[in-house]
Amino acid sequence: MQRILQFGTSRFLQAHVGLFVHEAREDGQDVGPITVVKTTRPGLRDQRIRAFGRAEGYPVVIRGLAEGRTVERRITVRSVVGGLSAHEDWDELRRCFVDETEIVVSNTGDAGYAVTAADHRQPAPDGIPESFPAKLLALLLARHAAGGRILTILPCELISGNGRMLYAALDDLAKRWSVTDAFRAWLSDGVVIADTLVDRIVSAPIEPIGAVAEPYALWAIQRRPGLAAPLRHPDVLMTDTLEPYERLKLHILNLGHSFLAELWSGQGHRADETVRGMLDDPAIRLRLTRLYETEVIPGFATRGLGAQAERYVAATLERLANPFLDHCVADIWQNHAIKIDRRMRAFLDWADAWHGSPTLVRLVEAYPGKL
């Protein structure tokens, strides 16, 4: 049994990894079940973590357009068997991590790998670290002390090289905590931390748990020594390199989201405005289309990905205008400054487009000024 420990309670993971694992289990595959972990302190999502593990499961509604056809289906996901709060259930979390877990999945947000100053010091044996990397390192130390069984970690944060960045954060903390050389060797050789890319628009929650999502989905996982595919699924792809998929998603779909969020923040749109609602305005749709055609696709062409970018832009415009999804722009606006840096500044650097992308350059350099 490939028991999975999932750090992060987001509706995205509910309609992505949770759904994939459910469908694989329905297909007879020996993967899961999943235990979900809330990493933050007690607060607004306590009701959600308590709802995980209900015998009746939770609903995911897939609704949208696929190759011009309307798709709508409802799935009851039963791959999740329980929920834990890291701050309230630490002892049980540590037991589960040490004794039962084979795969770790995470999606802790755009700033999820940030480490607090307090976590630079190793906590007391009964202490609970604050940040996600420090919590994970403390759990890894406990697993190593109990024999150090092999573990696979599949981070799903939308960060380029997320596996490498998470490993670097763990290794840096390990040095600060003065852990043994044996542990650092095990972290390097006995823990497989892979780079992954996730892609699906999950537009709305169903309370207390559940989600509405589009038909399109991708979980691309970069191959590396010792890594086996976590499951067989048509939307799970093992690949030698993530870069083409990563760049297309980050610098087309996500860049477009942030462009719309910037327009939304400065033009007096409703607080509950949706992506679809914004694109119903022909002037806004034209601005986004022109941005793609005159700045983004040419940038991809400099890297030999022009044709792929054209196809992905066409698919993205269909996805963004999905008449069945109410993707709230206010949700996209969260952590906006970080997203501008990763989605736009990084594109300008990668494509060497600082002299060919006036709109993006103006936004990046003038931010937080408005377009």
For 225, 269, 287, 294, 367, the CA distances from 263, given in Å and listed in that order, are: 44, 9, 10, 18, 12
pLDDT at 253: 95
Alpha carbon distance 260, 277 (integer Å): 11
Cα dist from 90 to 41, 154, 216, 301, whole Å = 12, 21, 36, 49
Rounded to two decimals, what is the model's pTM? 0.85
Mean pLDDT of 123-129: 90
Q: Tell me the DSSP string of 267-303.
A: TT--TT-BHHHHHTSHHHHHHHHHHIIIIIHHHHHTT
Any residues with CB less than 8 A from the CB of 285 and at least 6 apart, and which?
Answer: 279, 321
| CA distances, 176 to each of 98, 113, 180 (Å) | 23, 16, 11
Q: Is the predicted pLDDT of residue 109 greater than 60, yes or no? A: yes
User: Which residue did the predictor score with more confidence, 293 or 367?
Assistant: 293
- Arithmetic mean of pLDDT, 259-266: 93
Domains along the sequence of the chain with CATH: 4-241 (3.40.50.720), 244-366 (1.10.1040.10)
Q: Is the pLDDT of residue 254 over 90?
A: yes
pLDDT value for 368: 58
Whether residue 110 is predicted with pLDDT greater than 80 in this model: the reply is no
Higher-pLDDT residue of 126 and 352 is 352
Angstrom distance (rounded) from CA 370 to CA 262? 7
Nearest to 233 by CA among 220, 222, 246: 220
Average pLDDT, the chain: 93
pLDDT in tens, 332-341: 999 898 899 9
- The answer, yes or no, to whether residue 44 has pLDDT greater than 80, is no
The per-residue pLDDT for range 111-122, each reduced to its tens digit, is 789 999 999 999
Burial (CB count <10 Å: 0-12, 13-18, 19+), residue 110: middle
> What's the whole-number mean pLDDT along residues 55-82?
92
CA angle 126, 132, 134 (to 5 degrees): 50
Query: Beta strand pairing status for 80-85 and 34-38?
Result: parallel
The string of pLDDT tens digits covering residues 70-85 is 899 999 999 999 999 9
pLDDT for residue 317? 92
pLDDT at site 112: 85
Question: pLDDT tier at 324 (50, 70, 90 boundaries)?
Answer: confident
Query: Distance (Å, rounded) from C-alpha 357 to C-alpha 251?
Result: 13
What pLDDT does 70 receive?
87
Cα distance from N-terminal residue to C-terminal residue, the chain: 52
